Amino acid sequence: MVSKKSYLFIIIFIILSILIFVFKDYLKHELLTSFPPEIQEAIHVARHPETINNLENDFNVNFLPNTQFIDLNYYHVDLKYDVPTNLANNFSLEDYQIDIYKDLVYLVNKIGIVKQFILTSDQGTIKVAENKNISSNLNNLNIGKLLDLLVNNEYLYISYIVETPTCDLLKISRAKLNINPLYFEEIYEPDRCIGVLPATTMKFYKHNNKDGILLTSGNILESIHLAQDPQSTMGKILFLDLSSYKASNFTTGHRNPQGLLIFNDIIISTEHGPRGGDEINKIEYNTNYGWPISSYGEPYEMTSLPVYDKNHELNNFKEPIFSFIPSIGISEIINLPNSFSKNWQNNFLMASLKNESLYRIRFDSKFSRVIYMERIFIGEMIRDIKYYSKLNIILLTEINRNGKMGILSVKKN
């Protein structure tokens, strides 16, 4: 005999499931973050029924606005641009990137829009101010896929793929910010074609007293052995010398490093593994990280025996600081200034795609291990995160938000 309480729960569960299916884009954001944690958890289970078997293990996952020690506000701002109808169904933040420079937020997307705007606070509500389009020659670059955006020293850099009938080409172009319209000039193209390159991250870096860019170049499907080939740029983190525009291998043996952080003299990368085996790595010059020989994951095509060695060190490779099993769809990582919250000191914030969550992380003083990690469920696939110091907020770029950007701030009592 089904009790009234159980019957009511089933009805609520069915209604929530229907609402999620019909109005998922709306509910996942505007409604999800306004519900009590218990309702948020029920919605999460409804969207991911397979987690019903793991509820006893997931009881301590926090749902916004709650975290372990502070409450957060989470909402979206409209970036004020229209997505063409022919892209609306597959528009993703692989085609839209942001960076921050001198309190200005710069945005570039695949369809040729370059934006510059400032965020302001009006009685606690974050708004987009001084929002303007910047003319450029971006449409002439024949961009097939925008990979990353970097603003440094009055230059705006973009990495992107140009698709040809026989070859995919990785390119980097840059434009001087004080010139209007912006004129992007190509500064780098590898000697060889590339295979599948889902992500490329750029960070400004000084190496051997030369100014340059650290550039990630993954290697996940085609000719994965090239990650161990010193003559190939695939499966590497590269250093691009900005005086000569020549690139050299900085590290080798990478699968798909998507996040890159330079903090003081420390370099941290976040790397997509195969099935299981997402990694947080401490990047050291002229070091090999093992792909495709060593990995704590396995191919998506299941085999009866392990394909990859399960010990990096025994193969003279660098062990990851941490490996996620199962994978979380790891993405960007940032250093979070202590000014963000007194309860979040010496913390780093990492994003995920598959797990739709943020991870608050503390490393030891040598960045050799993770001391703790707090998962904070957001409910969206997060591609990128940036800290906006002017307003002490965190910016989140999410898959399929069609011109909107997530804002995370400390909730004031």
pLDDT in tens, the chain (413 residues): 556 667 777 777 777 777 666 555 444 545 554 555 556 566 666 665 655 544 444 545 666 668 899 999 998 888 876 554 443 333 343 457 899 999 999 998 877 789 999 999 988 889 998 889 999 998 888 888 888 999 999 999 999 888 877 777 889 999 999 888 999 999 998 877 776 666 789 999 999 999 999 999 887 666 788 899 999 888 999 999 999 999 999 999 999 999 999 999 999 999 999 988 999 999 999 999 999 999 999 988 777 778 899 999 999 999 999 999 999 999 999 999 999 999 999 999 999 999 999 999 999 999 999 999 999 998 888 989 999 999 999 999 887 666 789 999 998 86
Last residue of one domain, picked from the residues 59, 81, 96 = 59
Q: Are residues 398 and 299 in the same domain?
A: yes
Distance separating alpha carbons of residues 164 and 175, to the nearest angstrom: 24
* Contact assessment for residue 168 and residue 197, using Cβ atoms and an 8 Å cutoff: yes
Q: Is the peptide bond before 65 cis (omega within 30 degrees of 0)?
A: yes
Q: Are residues 225 and 145 in the same domain?
A: yes
Instruction: Name the 3-class secondary structure at 94.
Output: helix
Residue 363: give the domain boundaries: 60-410
Q: Are residues 164 and 301 in the same domain?
A: yes
Q: Are residues 48 and 64 in the same domain?
A: no
Last residue of one domain, picked from the residues 59, 83, 102 = 59
Distance separating alpha carbons of residues 351 and 95, to the nearest angstrom: 18
Q: Are residues 54 and 64 in the same domain?
A: no
- Give the per-residue pLDDT at 95: 58
Q: Are residues 328 and 270 in the same domain?
A: yes
- Give the per-residue pLDDT at 19: 63
Q: Are residues 28 and 65 in the same domain?
A: no
Residue 102 identity (one-letter amino acid): K
For the chain, the C-alpha Rg in angstroms (whole number) is 22
Distance separating alpha carbons of residues 198 and 145, to the nearest angstrom: 9
Distance separating alpha carbons of residues 17 and 19, to the nearest angstrom: 5
Q: Are residues 8 and 73 in the same domain?
A: no
Instruction: Name the 3-class secondary structure at 25.
Output: helix
pTM: 0.82
Q: Are residues 230 and 336 in the same domain?
A: yes
- Give the per-residue pLDDT at 403: 75
Q: Are residues 119 and 33 in the same domain?
A: no
DSSP label at 27? I
- Give the per-residue pLDDT at 228: 94
Domain count, the chain: 2
Q: Are residues 329 and 366 in the same domain?
A: yes
- HSE of 144, CA atoms in CB hemisphere, 13 A: 13
Q: Are residues 34 and 144 in the same domain?
A: no
- Give the per-residue pLDDT at 57: 46
CATH number of the structural domain spanning residue 355: 2.120.10.30
Residues in the chain: 413
Distance separating alpha carbons of residues 165 and 322, to the nearest angstrom: 40
Q: In degrees, to the nearest 5, what angle opens at C-alpha 218 toward C-alphas 213 and 220?
A: 175
